[in-house]
Amino acid sequence: MIFLTYINRSGSTYLAQILSVSEEILVCPEAEILVEKFLEAPEKNFILTDTLRNELIQQINNDWKLRHWGLRPEDLESLSKASNNFEAFFLLLCIYRDRIKPAATKILFKAERILHLWEKLEKLYRGDNLLHLIAVVRDPRGIYASQKNTRWPGSEKPFSDNPVHSSLLWRRYVKEVQRLLILHSEISIIRYEDLLNKPEETLKYLTQKIRIKRIPFLPEKGDLDSRIPEDQKHLHGNIKAQPVREKEKEWQGILNNYEIDLIQIMTNKYMNKLGYATEIRKVSIFKLIKTILPQTITYYISFNSKRIVFWINKIIHGRDSL
């Protein structure tokens, strides 16, 4: 089982497309609802009751990502073999694998939240070499530029129009990746820029880490793109293309000086650790701080209020509630 974690617009789908070239790997489409349902408490005993079966059928039919998996109500019966939530999750993925790429010996599943659940997952199978985590990182200026220019499906809203909030999310993500790198060996960190500038070398390193035969860097030969839902394809228009080095600095033509300096002052420490060079400051530090302080307070109020609502919902409606 290979997990791929990321921040939106960091190149994770491009990497997944590249890995889907391998006959050894089945790359699943995204479905965050499976993370919420099974991986928040992966160790919990799993019993396929009628109520749970009906709930899962409803989610298969209604969730905007999961419904594209083509799962059928009768597929759920195999979950009765699961002893815990993780096994139930894995069995669902195996059902999808058996239909799409039955010869694959590894399954790759990508989700942002996996990073913050990784220790729970590893605790179940520590030492067995059954799980591996790939963390994709990208220059935060490049991420925000892409978020600013990309619209959510069915909406005119950008992924982000707030460089402070994007920087806080990036910093939190990188801090957690680096903490886990110190603690665990079954984690690989891949820079999006290395995929652009030294693709063959980066892919060779990664295939060794996840223990598959070396594959050519041929994103056009991958099979994930054919299974991305039509309403999401515009988000991943270039995943079959060879890397374009100019994309590394594309943010320079998208962001203004103020946005660049906001991002750099908030992420400078971690950008340097990851090898991202910062530019000369162009805006006064005082003006930047006047923006950063209130936006940071707003971010954490929003973040913690969502967590509180989530756990209140869990308490009221039960551990398995979404």
pLDDT tens digits for 92-142?
999 999 999 999 999 999 999 999 999 999 999 877 779 999 999 999 999
Which DSSP category does 221 fall into? G
* pLDDT score of 300: 77
- Quote the pTM value: 0.91
pLDDT at 140: 98
Of 97, 143, 121, 109, give the one whose Cα is nearest residue 33: 109
* pLDDT band of 311, cuts 50, 70, 90: low
Residue 309 has pLDDT above 80, yes or no: no
| pLDDT per position as a tens digit, 140-190 | 999 999 999 999 887 889 999 999 999 999 999 999 999 999 987 789 999
- H or E stretch covering 135: strand 132-137
For 190, the enclosing helix (H) or strand (E) is: strand 187-191
pLDDT > 90 in the chain, percent: 76
What average pLDDT does range 238-242 have in this prediction?
Answer: 94
pLDDT value, residue 52: 94
Quick one: pLDDT at residue 174?
Answer: 97
- Which of 66-70, 204-208, 267-271, 313-317 is least confident? 313-317
Instruction: Judge whether residue 319 has pLDDT over 60.
Output: no
Share of the chain above pLDDT 70, in %: 93
SS (H, E, C) 229-295: CHHHHHHHCCCCCCCCHHHHHHHHHCCCHHHHHHHHHHHHHHHHHCCCCCCCCCCCHHHHHHHHHHH
- Residue 160 vs residues 6, 125, 155, 220: alpha-carbon distances, Å: 15, 36, 13, 29
Quote the CA–CA distance of 238 and 227 in Å, as a whole number: 15
Q: Residue 288: what pLDDT?
A: 77
pLDDT at position 262: 92
Angle among Cα 202, 204, 207 to the nearest 5 degrees reads 110
Contact status, residue 42 vs residue 124, Cβ threshold 8 Å: yes
322 confidence band (pLDDT: 50, 70, 90): very low
Over residues 208-219, the pLDDT tens digits come to 999 999 999 999
The two three-digit tokens of residue 204, written as one number:
């060779």
In this prediction, residues 60-84 reach a mean pLDDT of 94
What pLDDT was estimated at residue 67? Answer: 92
- In this predicted model, what pLDDT tens digit does every residue of 187-210 receive, in sequence order? 999 999 999 999 999 999 999 999
Quote the tokens at residue 293.
């302080």
Domains of the chain by start residue, with CATH: 1-15+111-225+242-256 (3.40.50.300), 25-104 (no CATH)
* pLDDT average, residue stretch 64-85: 94
Residue 187: phi, psi to the nearest 5? -135, 135
Arithmetic mean of pLDDT over the chain: 91
